[in-house]
Chains A and B, each alone.
Chain A
Amino acid sequence: MSETIETDVVIVGAGPVGLFAVFELGLLDVRCHLIDILDKPGGQCAELYPEKPIYDIPGFPIITGQGLTDNLLAQIKPFSPTFHLGEMVVSLERLEDGRFRVQTDAETVFLTKVIVIAAGGGSFQPKRPPVPGIEAFEGRSVFYSVRKMDAFRDHDILIVGGGDSALDWTLNLQPIARSVTLMHRRDAFRAAPDSVNKMRALAEEGKLNLVFGQVTGLKGGDGLIEAVEIIDNDDKTHHLPATRLLPFFGLTMKLGPIADWGLNLHENLITVDTEKFQTSEPGIFSIGDINWYPGKLKLILSGFHEAALMAQAASRIVFPDKKVLFQYTTSSTSLQKKLGVA
């Protein structure tokens, strides 16, 4: 279902820097919508290293990626940002009235005065196994996610991986598939023990095939696979008949559609000025790991600084006639009211 949302600012990326931008913009009465391809806020901090300690956040001698995310979410709560999770921005265009039209792959449409790109290392996308010729089958018989279960009905499905995605889809697709084979490189699974137990029970009943090995090639044509060549743990090659392949090898980061927005880039990073952190396109700002300027350091704390300066410039676009008064949260009653503490 498509809907159109009119707003002041759309922030692309809900990692630590995108979250802190909500705070800095909020103090200046600018309301935000955030879009992130992940199903949760926090970006790399939440996805790659939720339990890893970070030692260089000012004021926190040690904090985990998830701890920092939770604190930032608490800090921006007074500004009630709207999150659009599990969505990726696919198009961006400037309208005649100077605003931007932004559309996501879930067909959410935004009309916004300002765009802030805080997309870190880019969007998280499924890792493609380096199997020769796999591209030709993608989207027709090789899939990295399941959008419509019906596309798998009555097929011979090979699922590869040992984590929650692999196990969840093995269990969910088994009842509607013609056959399901789960292949993993070893007899140990990272997935939730309950799913692993259910999977093993089905394998014992003969309702799914459990094999150990790795994919080495694909057989078929015209985008449709017929068999998957695998090598087992004794280095023997086999051919498994399959009409659908679902590899689950985790996520990698790609710049994605941002590369096509006509912004000046420097080695796949977005060039910005160091006064406003604005891109080559007025009204589009970029902060955090995804931007570049001379002397750039990819540190979370640098992204926080960039968010503060960006917010000043962005608020002048959102409220062209309003005088921006510089104030401190320690002493300004008006800021404290916005934060709900005065």
Chain B
Amino acid sequence: MAKITYIAFDGTEYVVEAKDGSTVMENAVRNAVPGIEAECGGACACATCHVYVDPAWVEATGEPEPMEEDMLDFAHDVQPTSRLSCQIRVSPALDGLVVRVPESQG
């Protein structure tokens, strides 16, 4: 298990207990975090689950794979810590993870 904090664009925090092996996107959708649309259902094919990883957690979450990097081209306001949350898998090492949701998924 890992505790994940999603900060919506309006500043509202959503704190979720996430199961190991699930994705950061799945936990957002299950808990109705606004702004995570996940149109393609987690296939790394749409960029509507785009989040900004808190700088303190960038190392723990790792770098995007080339395919995810390609898909980030379809996201908006991409920043250096941008990730697709469907590609971040929950593990005990991510306990305490903080991600921010962008203003719009387009």
Contacts and interface: CB of A to CB of B under 8 A. Distances in A.
Contacts of A261: none
Nearest to A250: B74
A261 B78 CA distance: 38
Interface residues of B, number: 18
Contacts of B69: 186, 188
B45 interface: yes
Interface string A254-269: 0000000000000000
Interface in A110-154: 121, 127-130
Consensus secondary structure, chain B interface: loop
Interface string B33-71: 000000110010111100000000000000000000110
A249 B72 CA distance: 10
Contacts of B78: 185, 214
A78 interface: no
B45 A249 contact: no
B76 A48 contact: no
B70 A49 contact: no
B62 to A, nearest CB: 18
B31 interface: no
B103 interface: yes
A190 interface: yes
A128 B73 contact: no
17 contacts: A48-B40, A49-B45, A52-B43, A52-B45, A127-B74, A127-B106, A130-B103, A130-B104, A161-B73, A185-B78, A186-B69, A188-B69, A190-B73, A214-B77, A249-B74, A250-B46, A252-B39
